[in-house]
Amino acid sequence: MDTKYSVIVIGAGHAGCEAALACARMGLKTLVITLNIDSIARMPCNPAVGGIAKGQMVREIDAMGGEMAWNTDHAGLQFKILNSSRGPAVWSPRAQCDKQLYSILMAKTLENTQNLDILQSEATALIVKNGKVCGVKILTGETIETDAAVVTTGTFLRGTIHLGKFFFNGGRFNEREAAHLSKSLIEDCGIKLGRFKTTTTPRINSNSIDYSKMTVQPGDENPRPFSHFTEVEPWRKNLKQLPCWLTYTNPQTHKIVGDNLALSSIPISSGESKSPRYCPAIEEKIERYPEKTSHHIFVEPEGYNTNEIYLNGLYTGLPFDLQQQMINSIAGLEKAKVIRYAYAIEYDYSSPLQITKALATKNVPNLFLGGQINGTTGYEEAASQGFIAGVNAGLYVKGQDPLILARNESYIGILIDDITTKGMDEPYRMFTSRAEYRLSIRNDNADLRLMDTGRAIGLISDAAYKKFELYRQAVTDIYEANTDSLPTDLQLTPWSIEKAKEEVYIHKKYEGYIEIQDKIAHKVKKNQDRKIPDDFDYDKLESLSAETKSRLSQVRPQTIGQASRIHAIKPSDIAILTVYLEKQRKEKKNAKQTN
Ligand SMILES: Cc1cc2nc3c(=O)[nH]c(=O)nc-3n(C[C@H](O)[C@H](O)[C@H](O)COP(=O)(O)OP(=O)(O)OC[C@H]3O[C@@H](n4cnc5c(N)ncnc54)[C@H](O)[C@@H]3O)c2cc1C
C-alpha cells in the first residue's frame, strides 16, 4: 500500500466495489479500504440480483461498464425474466446467486484490476482541510492521502444487531460495526446522520425440508444472461440451474406472530428507526393486512456447495424460539431446522438531501456517498450509486464535469433524482412505478441508452464498443427495412441479429404508447404551478393507492409541483392528479359557458 491515492473508497460492499472498479478503470490510482476482505460484495440478505426495476438498473450499470451483471452471470444458479407473461416494457431479469461464489468472484476482479489496491482496515476519520477531504485515517492511526473519497459503509456505521429484544453492536452478524467514522462525518464534514433498520430471514437446512408439499419454481428454459458482454450460447451450456420452491404462511403462522408482536425487534407503528415498507417483516405484514390468511414464502437455495436455504418473505425480528415455531407451522417446513436465525440491523445513514445529483456532499465537494449510507436498501440500488459516486469522484479528480443521468434515460437517474430532491422517511427502494418514462427505459435497450455514456467515461473498451456500434447500426437498418448488408452474428458477438430483430419488434410495439407517455410527462412538467384546491378530496381518485391518498391528504400540497416533491409520491400518482385537475377545469369552464 502507498501513502497517497487519487481516490480512496471506504467499504467493499456492492456500492464500494463498483466505485473502486470504476475509478481504477478510469486510470486513477485507487485504494479500497474495507473491514474484512473475506466479505467483499457479501450478500447478507437474499443472494439474488435484479427483479422488478432492479434488473433494469443492473443492466444500466453494465451498459456503462460496471461489474454487477457480469459477476451475476458467473455466480448465478437460477435465471428468470420476471413479468414475462406481460409486455416486454416490464420484463425484469432476476438471478438467484451462489452467495459465496458471488463474493469470491468480485474479490478476484478487484484483486486483478490495475491501479486498484485493497486494504483490510477500518477507516476511522476523514481528514478535511480548507473544506476538502485530503486524507483518510485508519484504525492503527496512519493517514493515507487522497484527492477524493467515496464512502460506502452500508449497514456498518454504529451498527446494532437486534434479535428479539436482545441487542449488541455489529455491522452484520459476526462482523463488527464501524464505531468511529460517524463522528468524523458529523464533526469534520458537517453531515447529519439518522437511523434506519432492516431485517433478514432465517436460513434452514435443505435436508430438513419436505419439498413434496411445495410448488417447484424452475429457472427459465432459455435463460438470458444479465450482461450485454456475456456470450449467450457458451454461457447457457455451462449453466446448471437449481430450482426454487413456493409455500405459504397460514392462520397458525399468523397466530404465532400476532400473539408475540411485543417481543419483536421491529418497530411496529412506533417512533423508532424506520425499516423498509417494501420489504416488510412478517410482523408488519400481519399487522398491516389482518384480512390476509396467507403470504407467499419462496424457498431459495443459497449456493451449489451449501444446504442453506433462504426463506424469502419471512423477514422477522422475533426471538429464536418463535422463529422456529413460526417456520415449523408452514407446509413442507414442519421439520425444518434453522441454521441461521433472522436478525435486524440498525445503522446510521445520511439523508441524501445533503448530497448533489453527482452524489457529492454539499459541504465537502470531493467527498462522495453511495449505497445504503444514503438511506436506500438493496444491492442494486447500492451498486448503482456506488458506480455513479465512483465515476464522479474520478471525474472530479480529472477536473471534468460530473455524470448526472436524467430521469428519462435511466432508472439510476430516477433513483438519484428521487433521493436527492425528496429525501426519505424510510429506506428507499426502486420500483417501476417511480418511473414516468418506463416504456422507454426498458431492460432490453439499456445498451442503446447508456453505452455511449460508458464509452465517454472510458469504461467501454475499443473492441466492445466497435461491436456495439455494428449492432446499433443493424437495429437501425432492420427498423428501416434496409436489410441487404447486415453483419453476421460472428461479427456482432456477444450481440446478434436475433437480438437486433427483437429490439426493433419491441420498439415498434411501444412507439405509439411512448409518444403518449412523453406527452403526459410533458403535461405534468408544464403544470408544476397548477393550484390544487384546499378542500380537494383525494379519496375521489380511485386509481391512487390508499398510502398515496393518505400522504396527500396529510400534507395538502398547494400545487402539483409541491405534490410531486412529497416523499413516496410517484410520477404515476402525479399524472393521475394532473389529468383529473385538468378534466375538472374543463368541466367547470364548459359549465360556465353553458350558463
Ligand atoms: C441484516 C440485513 C438485512 C438486510 N435486508 C435487506 C432486505 O430485506 N432487502 C434489501 O434490499 N436489502 C437488505 N439488506 C441490505 C443490503 O445488504 C444492502 O442494501 C446492500 O448490501 C448495501 O450495499 P452497500 O455497498 O451500501 O453496503 P454493504 O453491502 O453493507 O457494504 C458495506 C461495506 O463497507 C465496509 N465498511 C463499513 N464501514 C467501514 C469503515 N469505517 N472502514 C472500512 N470499511 C467499512 C464493510 O466492511 C462492508 O464491506 C440487508 C442487510 C442486512 C445486513
| Residue range 116-152, pLDDT digits in tens | 999 999 999 999 999 999 999 999 999 999 999 999 9
Per-residue burial over 491-504, b = 16 or more CB atoms within 10 Å of its CB, e = otherwise: ebebbbbebbbebb
Question: CA–CA distance from 216 to each of 85, 202, 213, 262, 298 (Å)?
Answer: 18, 20, 10, 35, 10
47 lines ligand 1 (CB under 6 A): no
Instruction: Report whether pLDDT(271) > 60.
Output: no
Q: What is the CATH number of domain 203-345?
A: 2.40.30.260
Cα 495 to middle of ligand 1, angstroms: 34
d(C-alpha 25, C-alpha 391), whole Å? 10
Tell which one of 49, 156, 284, 431 to mutate to probe ligand 1, the residue whose CB is within 8 A of the most ligand atoms. Answer: 156
Domain with CATH 3.50.50.60 in the chain: 4-198+348-434
Q: Strand 367-369 to strand 143-151: parallel, antiparallel, or no bridges (unpaired)?
A: parallel
Q: What fold does the segment set 4-198+348-434 form as a domain?
A: FAD/NAD(P)-binding domain (3.50.50)
13 lines ligand 1 (CB under 6 A): yes
Tell which one of 110, 175, 372 to mutate to probe ligand 1, the residue whose CB is within 8 A of the most ligand atoms. Answer: 372
Domain with CATH 2.40.30.260 in the chain: 203-345
Domain with CATH 1.10.150.570 in the chain: 527-594
Instruction: Report whether pLDDT(270) > 80.
Output: no
Q: How confident is the model at residue 527 (pLDDT cuts 50, 70, 90)?
A: confident
Query: The C-alpha cell of 575 is what?
Result: 399524472
Say which residue, 301 or 590, is predicted with more confidence. 301
Answer positive or negative: Cα dihedral of 44, 48, 53, 56: positive
* Cis, bond preceding 290 (omega within 30 deg of 0): no
**Alpha helix stretches (DSSP H) within 85-231:** 99-111, 181-187
d(C-alpha 533, C-alpha 517), whole Å? 26
d(C-alpha 435, C-alpha 440), whole Å? 10
C-beta separation of 502 from 509 below 8 A: no
Q: Which CATH architecture has domain 527-594?
A: Orthogonal Bundle (1.10)
Q: Which of 252, 241, 247, 249 is nearest to 211 (CA)?
A: 247
Find the helix packing angle between 546-555 and 571-594, rounded to 10°. Answer: 70
Q: Which of 101, 91, 89 is nearest to 40 (CA)?
A: 101
C-beta separation of 116 from 110 below 8 A: yes
Count other Cβ atoms within 10 Å, centred on residue 553.
12
312 lines ligand 1 (CB under 6 A): no
C-beta separation of 226 from 218 below 8 A: no
d(C-alpha 571, C-alpha 432), whole Å? 10
382 lines ligand 1 (CB under 6 A): yes
Q: What angle do CA 514, 518, 523 make, to 5 degrees?
A: 150
Query: The C-alpha cell of 474 is what?
Result: 443493424
- DSSP code string of 265-316: SS-SSSSS-B--TTS--HHHHHHH-TT----EEEEEE--TT--EEEEET---
What value does the mean pLDDT take over residues 208-217? 98
Count other Cβ atoms within 10 Å, centred on residue 333.
25
* Length of the chain, in residues: 595
Query: The C-alpha cell of 468 is what?
Result: 456495439
Which residues have a Cβ under 8 Å from the Cβ of 119 and sit 6 or more positions away?
1, 31, 32, 33, 34, 138
Q: Which residue type does 265 have? A: S
Query: The C-alpha cell of 196 is what?
Result: 434506519
What value does the mean pLDDT take over residues 168-189? 96
Share of the chain above pLDDT 90, in %: 75
C-beta separation of 269 from 261 below 8 A: no
Cα 173 to middle of ligand 1, angstroms: 11
Instruction: Report whether pLDDT(69) > 90.
Output: yes
Residue in this structure with the C-alpha cell 474479490, named with its chain if needed? 107
Average pLDDT, the chain: 93
182 lines ligand 1 (CB under 6 A): no
197: DSSP letter: E
Helix (H, G, I), strand (E, B) or coil at 34: strand
Q: How confident is the model at residue 273 (pLDDT cuts 50, 70, 90)?
A: low
34 lines ligand 1 (CB under 6 A): yes
What value does the mean pLDDT take over residues 74-101? 93
d(C-alpha 28, C-alpha 520), whole Å? 43
d(C-alpha 305, C-alpha 216), whole Å? 20
Q: Of 236-245, 316-325, 583-592, which range is least confident?
A: 583-592
User: Model-level pTM greater than 0.85?
Assistant: yes
Per-residue burial over 127-158, b = 16 or more CB atoms within 10 Å of its CB, e = otherwise: bbeeeebbbbbbeeeeebebbbbbbbbbbbbb
What value does the mean pLDDT take over residues 35-53? 96
Tell which one of 21, 185, 198 to mutate to probe ligand 1, the residue whose CB is within 8 A of the most ligand atoms. Answer: 198
Q: How confident is the model at residue 269 (pLDDT cuts 50, 70, 90)?
A: very low
In terms of Cβ atoms closer than 10 Å to its own Cβ (0-12, 13-18, 19+), residue 359 is: buried
Query: The C-alpha cell of 338 is what?
Result: 434453522
198 lines ligand 1 (CB under 6 A): yes
Question: CA–CA distance from 10 to each of 13, 98, 136, 263, 559 (Å)?
Answer: 9, 25, 9, 36, 41
pLDDT digits (tens, 9 = 90+) for 496-523: 999 999 999 999 999 888 888 888 777 7
d(C-alpha 517, C-alpha 436), whole Å? 7
